[in-house]
Structure 1
Amino acid sequence: MDIAQVWHRVADAQPDPPRWLVLAAAGLALLAVLPRPVWRLSRNVVTIAHEGGHGLVALLTRRRLSGIRLHSDTSGLTVSSGPPTGPGMVLTAAAGYTAPSLLGLGGAALLASGRITALLWIAIALLAGMLIMIRNAFGVLSVLVTGGAFLAISWYGGTELQAAFAYLGVWFLLLAGVRPVVELQRKRRHGGAPDSDADQLARLTGVSAVLWVALFLTIALASLLAGGNWLLHWR
């Protein structure tokens, strides 16, 4: 297969999958988010998106990204250097909890335009870029397994399998973007997570951490509503 064929395979639009597949993907994504035992495992994907969001925005705001760590308890840490205050630091801190939902929204836009294979390859590119900055073994394993799944499906999977995987991934990000925000506020209400992203943002901006959590939740819910509308082609 030459470069032109690869390009057309990635860039060309695919036909919309059947409605049952889209709904089945939504159902499976919901099952990956709601039951606590499954969530303990699937939340690792959210952590990849969360820390990747911090890292990407740090680079976009010209901060120096030192490294990213992903842990088996689904926590993570992204370290960047630069001015300790200012817009770059605020945007970097705000990017984590919003990243899964906004990535899901972007994915929904691609799927609504039929760019199924393009979405898979964009995901591979983002994961490959993130892999360079991972600084621990579990993080490397997590990103490699996730990226390997995307690569295998995009290269060897048939049209319906690619569509099922892409829709499942996007539905998961849209749905899973809500739960960590709710969990964050629950921890904060019981005196936990004093150094959460919301609390760091409160110290940086003087705006209450509760309002930052409310903003995260608003973005997550708005992304879910808009992205779900695009995926289901409701008009």
Structure 2
Amino acid sequence: MTLAGQLGQGTEKLKRVQQHKNLHDHLSSRATDVRARRQAVQHLSATVANTQQFEFPEDKKLRASARKQLEMIETLHGQFQESPAALLSNELPHTLRLIDQVEQAARDALREQWRAHVDAMTPSLPEVVLDVLATQPAQTKTVKRIKEVTQSLRKLRDRYPVTSSDLNELRGAEVAIRSTQQELQAAAVPDEVVTFLKDCTTGGATLSTLTPGVMEWLRAHQVTHAFAITMRRA
């Protein structure tokens, strides 16, 4: 065989090797995509199962959606496990995009319901009211517990519930809230008092907001000493 012929054969072999490599890389990439979707959907399904105890309004839809996605991705995973050639299907990218869309929609819905649930649990007393109540020795410990629970819940609200420790922390917050429920009720603050206290901390309250009801509340909680009347300069 001539040198030119040998070079030609060598070139063809190199082309075939490159083609095999390209095919291998393509299959590997698609296999990685399927595995990643499978892991994401399994993670979502576990999260939905963990939060089932909270009975979210859309919980049944979320569980059904997660179950459908898991069935789809498990079918795909099984197909390419049996025959890697299944990864070359032209329908695979579309199917993966569909799974992504449904998975993201379910994840967003679960996140919003998680936040709404945490918000509903969070004590609603304004910070300024807690600060005033904290000046009373009898309320200091209660206010401290309320602030700690509130801070914990605010962190949980923005932390997607992906671990069992998040759920355990939420249960702990629920227990703490129940333990301070009576104190919170005893510290119930009328709207006019809340308005007065907020005004005091944001530029000053007018005498018109210092109503008899406000004065009665301030005296009852022994915090009149925390306030002073000054004349506003024009």
Higher strand share: 1
Q: In terms of Rg, which structure is larger?
A: 2
**Which structure would you say has the larger RCO, counting Cα contacts within 8 Å and 6 or more residues apart?**
1
Structure in which a larger fraction of residues adopt helix: 2
TM-score by length of 1: 0.28
